[in-house]
């Protein structure tokens, strides 16, 4: 049979001056020939620019847009890249397959779902839908959730998802990540079995099914696989260091024929292992593709030379890495990154707030300043200090520390002890008891509201008898907890009260209801430490009320608009965990709580891989700064027993050459915080 090929891939005359638009490193990637390409793109090196120009170059070279697959971690990123390509080429490139793994999987499955036992009009379950269906599967399995706390739908959904994306069995996962549920393994696996069945019966897929079924199309349906292996002549994957095992397997299957696979990422910014990202995908890419060309983008356009020298020195300590050395394309501003040993966490917060106000006076807008931390609870004292000083701030990708559900749950117990007429606190606490919902909580409150001594009433047998049968056990435990919270030795000890709430059932509640239970427990342990500095529970709760700013501020109090004269209405300081700050940048960055055991987190130091991921996280934090960087840590801290705990600076600080950090001392005189530069090095010996 004679084959006739329609020539649609016609090379066009270049409209782009690649020599002018790209540096030598970038241009080498964009102009590279066929075959697998591994691009290690350092922080601030123009990774997005390279991917954009590579797509444009392929189209200019005659590759039809429909034969290009561009995989990004947000649909917005894909849209922005392709919009830029359209501008560069002055042509319509909408036929390029661009988007996230999930959006592309959905597009393919709408065509081929029938081959896997679904109809093409299948529904996609979002996180809430998945949780609800899992809850119904728990009921169907007739699991007694009263005798032992059984994980809620949200926790199970995260559990099933992690197992799927990391190619881990539930048995292995429970032992490794959820040992407190090990005795429930058989029941959890039964719920998972029912969940998979019910999704198929309802012609529905959750987000993970989209990827699983994409892989099935490529591995179990050779006719369908052949279509797309032929079609996608060139595949580009952005942020490859964040891919999980399942995603990497899909990419390899799709690229099997042409092998024109370009993956772009930075091994030094691989920081999401805790949520399933597999560092080996990028680190071992050349093992899977021995003929892969390796490119490094080492020209940094973001940070000053001083900041980059510190970042380079830090990440170079990692054993597993692609060696690289970021070169600053910006001139020096004469500012060496500062190391600030503060007396304690309160002085650390005072320094950060005072320096931010100075920077604002120097012409740096608040929205060009960020405070970064390893864990959310590290911002506790700082949020209070910023509120006292009237400095407006936003917590990126989250709520303020004291507005989080688990913080409000635990403080609700303290509120009702201080004020037994606090209706909101009562209703919140009551609904934490198994088998008590909104209706029962309202009925209970109606009786308590008119009682002479509500706290005494809850401990009576007569009151307990009026509750739903299923709530009896939980209510007895609650009554005993109230008794102990109001005991003379505990009544005005908020730290001890928080510890009691945690040990008398709330930790188990966290484990059953939240996938990140450990992090939430850590928040609460730190809250107890913080509470230890207060002599009464009332004083502690009053301090927390400060965070409601204007609503609870006394008449004439200074608020953000008064302090930040002439600033934009929306001008706010950014507070963010380092994980949530990835991909962002600010003129000035403060890093707080860079003490060993805090950053790196002690929980992450169980093995060398954990320490190296923490060091990569430290590197990400350093490279968010453009002009100025302040690295802060407290020398001492009082624990919940009011014992003094000494802190040393992070090992990531002490292991770099001393000349890369300028040590500042902090002094307080006449209630005015002063920063005194010093050449002393005793803090990092």
- Check if the beta carbon of residue 235 is closer than 8 Å to that of residue 254: yes
User: Which residues share a beta bridge with 394?
Assistant: 574
Annotated active-site residue in 269, 387, 594, 623: 269
Annotated active-site residue in 25, 60, 158, 238: 238
Give the C-alpha separation, 587 to 589, whole Å. Answer: 7
Distances, alpha carbon 137 to alpha carbons 157, 194, 520, 592, in Å:
12, 6, 27, 44
Three-class DSSP labels, 384-426: HHHHHHCCCEEECCCCCHHHCHHHHHHHHHHHHHHCCCCHHHH
- Kindly report the number of other CB atoms within 10 A of residue 19's CB atom: 9
Q: What is the pLDDT of residue 564?
A: 42
Whether 374 is catalytic = no
- Binning pLDDT at 50, 70 and 90, where does residue 53 land? very high
Whether 206 is catalytic = no
Q: How does pLDDT run across 149-170, given as a tens digit for each residue? A: 899 999 999 999 999 999 999 9
Q: Answer whether 0.85 is exceeded by the pTM.
A: yes
- Check if the beta carbon of residue 238 is closer than 8 Å to that of residue 77: yes
- Nearest CA-CA partner of 658 in 677, 634, 684, 632: 684
Residue labelled with tokens 């500095």: 533
Give the C-alpha separation, 386 to 354, whole Å. Answer: 9
User: How much of the chain exceeds pLDDT 70, in percent?
Assistant: 91
Q: Output the six-digit token pair for 430.
A: 């009551």
- Nearest CA-CA partner of 350 in 669, 20, 684, 16: 669
Whether 47 is catalytic = yes
Please name the residues in contact with 660: beta carbons below 8 A apart, sequence gap of 6 or more.
306, 309, 310, 313, 336, 337
Whether 654 is catalytic = no
- Check if the beta carbon of residue 552 is closer than 8 Å to that of residue 545: yes
User: Which residues share a beta bridge with 577?
Assistant: 373
DSSP reduced 3-state for 442: helix
Give the C-alpha separation, 635 to 342, whole Å. Answer: 6
**pLDDT for residue 568 is more than 70:** no
Q: How does pLDDT run across 110-128, given as a tens digit for each residue? A: 999 999 999 999 999 998 9
Q: Output the six-digit token pair for 350.
A: 């005072």
Annotated active-site residue in 598, 624, 640, 651: 624
Instruction: Work out the average pLDDT over 370-384.
Output: 93
Annotated active-site residue in 25, 47, 164, 383: 47
Give the C-alpha separation, 105 to 118, whole Å. Answer: 14
Helical residues (DSSP H) of 502-607, grouped into ranges: 507-513, 517-531, 537-545, 560-563, 578-581
Q: Between β-strands 672-677 and 662-669, what pairing exists: parallel, antiparallel or unpaired?
A: antiparallel
DSSP reduced 3-state for 381: helix
Give the C-alpha separation, 387 to 499, whole Å. Answer: 27
- Binning pLDDT at 50, 70 and 90, where does residue 565 land? very low
Q: How does pLDDT run across 32-47, given as a tens digit for each residue? A: 999 999 999 999 999 9
- What one-character-per-residue DSSP string does 292-326 give? -EEEEE-EESSS-HHHHHHHHHHHTT-SSS-----
Annotated active-site residue in 9, 48, 435, 596: 48
Q: What is the pLDDT of residue 621?
A: 98
Annotated active-site residue in 154, 239, 266, 267: 239
Give the C-alpha separation, 322 to 306, whole Å. Answer: 22
Q: How does pLDDT run across 595-626, given as a tens digit for each residue? A: 999 999 998 888 899 999 999 999 999 999 99
Phi and psi (nearest 5°) for 31? -95, 5
Q: How does pLDDT run across 171-216, given as a tens digit for each residue? A: 999 999 999 999 999 999 999 999 999 999 999 999 999 999 999 9
- Binning pLDDT at 50, 70 and 90, where does residue 556 land? very low
**To the nearest whole number, what is the mean pLDDT of the chain?**
89
């Amino acid at each position: 049979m004679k084959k006739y090929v329609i020539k649609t891939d016609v090379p066009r005359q270049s409209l782009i001056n690649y020599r002018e638009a790209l540096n030598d490193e970038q241009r080498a990637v964009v102009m590279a020939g066929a075959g697998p390409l591994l691009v290690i793109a350092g922080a601030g090196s123009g990774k997005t620019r390279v991917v954009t120009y590579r797509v444009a170059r392929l189209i200019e070279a005659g590759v039809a847009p429909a034969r290009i697959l561009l995989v990004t971690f947000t649909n917005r990123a894909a849209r922005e890249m392709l919009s830029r390509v359209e501008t560069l080429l002055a042509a319509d490139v909408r036929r390029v397959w661009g988007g996230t793994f999930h959006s592309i999987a959905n597009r393919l499955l709408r065509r081929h779902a029938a081959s896997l036992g679904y109809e093409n009009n299948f529904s996609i379950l979002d996180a809430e839908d998945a949780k609800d269906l899992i809850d119904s599967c728990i009921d169907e399995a007739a699991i007694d959730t009263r005798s032992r706390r059984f994980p809620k739908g949200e926790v199970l959904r995260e559990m099933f998802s992690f197992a799927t994306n990391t190619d881990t069995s539930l048995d292995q996962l429970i032992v490794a990540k959820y040992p407190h549920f090990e005795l429930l393994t058989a029941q959890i696996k039964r719920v998972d079995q029912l969940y998979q069945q019910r999704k198929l019966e309802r012609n529905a897929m959750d987000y993970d099914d989209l990827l699983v079924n994409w892989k099935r199309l490529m591995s179990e349906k050779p006719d369908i696989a052949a279509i797309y292996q032929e079609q996608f002549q060139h595949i580009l994957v952005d942020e490859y260091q964040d891919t999980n095992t399942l995603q990497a397997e899909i990419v390899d299957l799709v690229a099997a024929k042409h092998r024109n696979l370009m993956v772009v990422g930075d091994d030094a910014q691989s920081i999401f292992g805790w949520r399933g990202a597999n560092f080996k995908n990028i680190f071992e890419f050349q093992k899977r593709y021995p003929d892969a060309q390796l490119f490094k983008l080492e020209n940094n356009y973001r940070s000053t030379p001083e900041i980059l020298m510190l970042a380079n020195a830090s990440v170079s300590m990692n054993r597993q890495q692609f060696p690289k050395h970021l070169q600053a394309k910006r001139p020096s501003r004469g500012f060496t990154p500062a190391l600030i040993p503060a007396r304690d966490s309160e002085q650390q917060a005072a320094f950060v707030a005072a320096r931010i106000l100075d920077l604002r006076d120097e012409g740096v807008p608040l929205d060009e300043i960020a405070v970064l931390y390893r864990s959310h609870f590290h911002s506790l004292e700082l949020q209070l200090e910023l509120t006292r000083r009237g400095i407006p701030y936003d917590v990126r990708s989250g709520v303020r520390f004291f507005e989080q559900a688990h913080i409000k749950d635990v403080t609700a117990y303290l509120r009702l002890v201080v004020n037994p007429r606090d209706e909101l606190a009562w209703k919140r606490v009551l609904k934490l008891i198994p088998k008590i919902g909104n209706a029962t909580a309202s009925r209970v409150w109606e009786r308590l509201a008119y009682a002479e001594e509500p706290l005494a009433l809850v401990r009576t047998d007569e009151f307990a008898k009026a509750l739903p049968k299923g709530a009896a056990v939980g209510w007895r435990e609650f009554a005993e907890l109230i008794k102990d919270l109001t005991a003379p030795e505990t009544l005005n000890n908020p730290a001890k009260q928080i510890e009691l709430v945690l040990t008398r059932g709330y930790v188990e509640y966290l484990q059953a209801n939240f996938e990140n239970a450990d992090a939430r427990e850590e928040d609460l342990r730190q809250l107890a430490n913080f509470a230890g500095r207060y002599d009464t529970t009332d004083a502690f709760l009053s301090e927390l009320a400060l965070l409601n700013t204007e609503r609870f501020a006394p008449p004439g109090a200074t608020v953000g608009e008064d302090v930040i004269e002439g600033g934009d209405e929306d001008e706010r300081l950014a507070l963010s965990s380092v994980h949530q700050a990835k991909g962002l940048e600010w003129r000035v960055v403060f890093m707080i709580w860079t003490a060993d055991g805090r950053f790196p987190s002690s929980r992450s130091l169980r093995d060398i891989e954990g320490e190296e991921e923490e060091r990569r996280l430290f590197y990400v934090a350093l490279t968010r700064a453009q002009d100025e960087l302040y690295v802060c840590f407290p020398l001492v801290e009082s624990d919940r027993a009011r014992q003094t705990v000494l802190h040393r600076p992070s090992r990531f600080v002490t292991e770099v050459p001393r000349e890369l950090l300028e040590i500042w001392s902090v002094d307080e005189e006449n209630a005015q915080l002063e920063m005194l530069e010093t050449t002393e090095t005793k803090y990092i010996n």
